[in-house]
Amino acid sequence: MSVPKLCQQFIYGGDYNPEQWLDRPDILEQDIVLLKKAHINTVTLGVFSWSVLEPQEGVFRFEWLHKIIDRLYQNGIRVILATPSGSRPRWLAEKYPEVLRVREDRVRYLYGERHNHCYTSPVYREKVAVINRKLAENFKDHPAVMMWHISNEYRDECHCPLCQQAFRKWLKNRYQNIDELNHAWWTTFWSHTYQSFDQIESPSSIGEKGLHGLTLDWKRFVTAQTTDFMCHEIRVLREAGVQQPTVVNFMNDYTGLDYYKLAEHVDYVSWDSYPTWHHKSDVLTAFDTGMQHDLMRSMKQKPFLLMESSPSSPNWQNISKVKKPGMLMNAALHAVAHGSDSVQFFQIRQSRGGFEKFHSAVIDHYGGEDTRIFKEVTETGVVLETLAEIKGSQVNAAAAVIYDMESRWAMESAKGPRNEGLFYHEAALKSYQALRKNGLNVDVINMEQSLEKYRIIAAPMLYMFRAGIEEKLRGFVQQGGILVMTYWSGIVNETDLCHIGGTPHGLTDVLGLRSEEIDGLCKGETNHFLPLGKNGLFMKDRYECSHLCDLVHLDGAKPLMTYAENFYKGYPALTVNNYGSGLAYYVCADAEMDFYLDLYRNIIAEQNIPPVMDSIPEGIEISSRTIKNTEYVFVQNFTEEPICIRLPNEAEILFGCYDGAIQGYSSVIYRKKTQLPQK
Ligand code: GLA
Ligand code: ZN
């Protein structure tokens, strides 16, 4: 099926819930006027409309939605239309209790909240099919509808009898016979051997939690079942004749699902970004958010969509901080810089009651255009219109960080080596941030993706080797790539069984070492890295490390730094090994940020990898998008103060004020001819 091209403007808008205002036609009229004033060109409709679209089983009301979509279209505003499965009506739960989720402790939920329905229930699937089909029949040919938003933030899990049955079926399909499963899960341990698939129950606090293989497969099953449910939703739309592209919206660093699996079945990936701006360093928050943007883009290796963000404060964080002047536009351009083709808000009009009445909105309870937020939304809309030529462009990344959900699941559910916290996300973020601060665009990939186009691969805490990653990494280094692997890598196989014969499994010759012991450090306890002689690296004299210290046995690798304290003082802390035409570094402990910054600065200089920009001052984030031979460089200040910066001579400024400095919470975008190879 051919997917129509989105039009040439950035998508600009957000979640709009007119069903809450059907008794206020004056407000609905006013919304259109304000949307146009704000330069909004798209709204997401119908995310939570089910009880208005189908107030009783089999009784449908679509006239109101027709009216709204027609009116939006007449006013030049397009629609991303959602299937309403994210929150089901009361009558459905009442008549069919099987649609309600069961918790891991086997208690069934009452009706309430949202996202609490069973994805396995045939009744729920059937009812969703009915409403999706109706929506499709009503709107598939409407010229305003540009995309279909499938459900909303799929999440969580259900342990009901139907899900248990489906899990057993899934396991049978995976292992074929029970002996295979027993081996994969190592069930002889504590005498837990299963005689048949029928005996298997999902992990529970009142049952089995100690078999990590079971926990891992359960998580895989939850992803598979959610993906299957999403595909069911899409299939119904397609069978009813829907031609427009589909999109699914993801959440920040959500570990309940492996998003890569869902991403395969939709045309666009999108996410809902709610960083805690102004709570701590905004610079750090920007890097953390940037990593999520890059993860979303990397899933499909193409532009993603920013589906939601708050115009000012969200209401569900511990403290609701309003966005300081300039932050709204900076956050919007930040998403664009990292490859988003949209900027969207939650919510367009602030609801009057319910859970989100204090969540910020483009149009607040006051309802006028003379508010700070409305003005900033409008300014951002105008700017996005002037940047239309950037839409659709790619991000060329010389480096990638491997950030793999299955590996994370396995690592975090295991007991040891540090049950108080492994700091995986933080470790990945350090590598990511160091690469970006040294001027490279970065992809955030999983183990299934190709490594071919990168010069540097950061492999922090790659606990589980799967999808042939060891062979891919070997080939990558062989061909001249630079691998930076850390402690706690290559420990288990795909079913969570520890590798025997030395770790990091299958790469000990590439790295020139094997890991022998790993020491967990208590909270507040540290060790240090010291340089070893003239090692060719321009590093500082001392870096702190914490949490985990790997004690390695060298077998060809050259030590570059050593530990400073404990009985392992003098043991290697950073090593490098020549393999093929490349280099394999091994970082033995959870070193501080500065260590990674300096290490990558050395590597990038030594390898002559051209950064997007040289000499990036603290507080500035650089990212670029490329189309043909033009590179668009985004220079963003995430502090309150102006920052002096030298832009390259060839920079042709497309947007922003630059007088040798960039003002607080603002951005400059410039064009230059690219030096990167054309893909
Ligand atoms: C999520 C949901 C929205 C809304 C926002 C509020 O992203 O998708 O429906 O609840 O959070 O921040
Ligand atoms: Zn269920």
Q: Using one digit for the tens of pLDDT, what is the confidence trace for 239-257? A: 999 999 999 999 999 999 9
Mutation test residue for ligand 1: of 153, 346, 348, 356, the one with most atoms within 8 Å of CB:
346
Q: Is the distance from the beta carbon of residue 312 to the nearest atom of ligand 1 less than 6 Å?
A: no
Please tell me the distance between residue 271's alpha carbon and the centre of ligand 1 in angstroms: 10
Give the closest residue (by CA) to ligand 1 atom 4. Answer: 346
Residue 249 burial (CB count, 10 A): 28
Tell whether pTM > 0.95.
yes
Work out whether the CA dihedral 179, 184, 186, 187 comes out positive or negative. negative
Q: How many residues does the chain have?
A: 679
d(CA 86, CA 48): 7
Distance between Cα 290 and ligand 1 center (Å): 19
H/E segment holding residue 148: strand 145-149
How much is the pLDDT for 116? 86
Residue of the CA atom closest to atom 5 of ligand 1: 346
Atom of ligand 1 nearest to the CA of 308: 7
Q: Quick one: pLDDT at residue 559?
A: 97
**For residue 114, how far is its CA from the centre of ligand 2 (angstroms)?**
15
Q: What's the CA-to-centroid distance between 187 and ligand 2, angstroms?
A: 26
Is the CB of 346 inside a 6 Å radius of any atom of ligand 1?
A: yes
- The preferred substitution site among 44, 152, 277, 308 for testing ligand 1, maximizing ligand atoms within 8 Å of CB, is 308
Record the tokens describing residue 303, joined without a space. 């532009």
Note the helical H segments in 452-592.
469-478, 508-511
> 75 Cβ partners below 8 Å, 6+ apart?
32, 35, 36
Encoded amino acid at 646, one letter: R
Q: How far is the CA of 161 from the centre of ligand 2 (A)?
A: 7
| Residue tagged active-site, from 153, 157, 470, 621 | 153
Ligand 1 contact via 314 beta carbon (within 6 Å): yes
Ligand nearest to the CA of 153: 1
Those residues whose C-beta lies under 8 Å from the C-beta of residue 160, and which sit 6 or more positions away, are 98, 101, 102, 108, 118, 120, 121
Dihedral sign, Cα of residue 652, residue 658, residue 662, residue 667: negative
Q: Are 74 and 175 in contact (CB under 8 A)?
A: no
Which ligand has its closest atom nearest to the C-alpha of 348? 1
Question: Backbone phi, then psi, for 657, in 5-degree steps?
Answer: -95, 130
Nearest ligand to the CA of 84 is: 1
The Cα–Cα gap between 213 and 216 comes to: 5
From the CA of 346, the nearest ligand is 1
Query: Secondary structure of the chain: what % helix, strand, coil (to 5)?
Result: 35, 20, 45
- DSSP E strand boundaries for 300-437: 305-309, 342-345, 399-402
Q: Is 308 in the pocket of ligand 1 (CB under 6 A)?
A: yes
Please state, in angstroms and rounded to a whole number, the distance separating the CA atoms of residues 211 and 145.
47
pLDDT score at 678: 41
Instruction: Using the structure block, give the residue that is written with the tokens 């280094």.
Output: 477
State residue 539's pLDDT score: 83
Look up 153 and say whether it is catalytic: yes
Q: Please give the distance, rounded to the nearest whole angstrom, from the Cα atom of residue 121 to the centre of ligand 2.
A: 6
Cα of 346 vs centre of ligand 1, distance in Å, is 7
Query: What pLDDT sits at residue 676?
Result: 53
Ligand 1 atom with minimal separation from the 316 CA:
12
Nearest CA-CA partner of 51 in 11, 94, 14: 94
Phi and psi, residue 526, nearest 5°: -135, 165
- Asked if residue 6 lies in contact with residue 341, where contact means CB atoms within 8 angstroms, the answer is yes
Ligand 1 contacts CB of residue 248 (under 6 A) = no
| Paired sense of beta strands 527-531 and 558-563, if any | antiparallel
Q: Is the CB of 44 under 6 A from ligand 1?
A: no
Catalytic: which of 308, 470, 621, 631?
Answer: 308
Q: What is the pLDDT of residue 524?
A: 97
Task: Sheet with 620-627: list strands edge to edge.
Answer: 620-627, 630-637, 667-673, 652-655
Q: Is 359 in the pocket of ligand 1 (CB under 6 A)?
A: yes
Report the Cα 230 to chain-centroid distance in Å: 18
Of all atoms in ligand 1, which is nearest to the CA of residue 315? 12
CA–CA separation, 338 vs 174, rounded Å?
37
Low-confidence ranges of the chain (pLDDT < 70): 1-7, 675-679
User: What is the distance of C-alpha 365 from the center of its chain?
Assistant: 32
Residue 429 near residue 291 (C-beta atoms within 8 A): yes
**First-last CA distance in the chain:** 25
- Chain mean position to CA 123: 31
Q: What is the CA radius of gyration of the chain?
A: 26
CB-ligand 1 contact for 149 (6 Å cutoff): no
Q: Measuring CA to CA, which residue among 392, 281, 544 is closest to residue 11?
A: 392
Residue nearest to atom 10 of ligand 1 (CA): 356
User: Of all atoms in ligand 1, which is nearest to the CA of residue 153?
Assistant: 8
Q: Is 379 marked active-site?
A: no
Structure tokens at 388: 């239309």
